[in-house]
Structure 1
Amino acid sequence: GTILITGATGTLGTLLAHHLVTHHHAKNLLLLSRRGPNAPGAQELHTELTNLGAHITLTACDITDPNALATTLTQIPDEHPLTAVIHTAGVL
C-alpha cells in the first residue's frame, strides 16, 4: 500500500520517511508538504529514498485545504491503496 506522510520535507518527516524505507521496507510513499518538490532538501530526499528502492511521490499540498487534499488523494494508484497516514507537519 501507500503510506502518506504530511510535513514530509521537514526534519521529522524526512527522518520518518527514511526510517520507514530502511527499517520497515516501505515501498510506496506519498510525501506531502506545502512546497513539495521545491522545499529545501526535497530532491535529495527523493533521490536517496528512490536509490534505496522506494517509489516516492513528492507533492505540494496544503492539507488544511480540503479540496486540495481530496484532489491529491484521488491520485493514489488503485494498485497501491492508501494504508497509513502519518502526520508530521508542524511549526516549532
Structure 2
Amino acid sequence: MSCGIVWKIRTGSAWRDVPERYGSWQTLYTRFRRWALDRTFSAMLTAVQADADATGDLDWLVAVDSTIVRAHQHAAGARKGGTARRRVMPWDVPAEG
C-alpha cells in the first residue's frame, strides 16, 4: 500500500491514475489522508533525519541562492512618478490651540 502512495507523490498523478497493482486508489487516498492527519509522515521524516544525522550522512547547512527565490516584477522598485506619497496619520497633524 505505501508503495502506491510513494508512486502517486513521485509522479504527481491524480489518485485515480494510481496503477491497480498498488490496490484501490480510494484505499490509498484514505490511508494517505489518515497518515497526514495523525502526523505519521512527520514521524517518518524525523526518524530518517535522526538516522542520517547519527551516521554523519546529513549535512544541515542550507544555502538559498537568489536565482531560485522569485519576487514579483514590481517588488524591487519604488512608485513611479518620483516622490512617494505618504499617508497622513492623525498623530502627524499638529494640535490646535
Give 1 or 2: higher helix fraction: 2
TM-score exceeds 0.5: no
Q: Which has the higher contact order (CA 8 A, sep 6+)?
A: 1
Q: Bigger radius of gyration, 1 or 2? A: 2
TM-score, structure 2 as length reference: 0.19
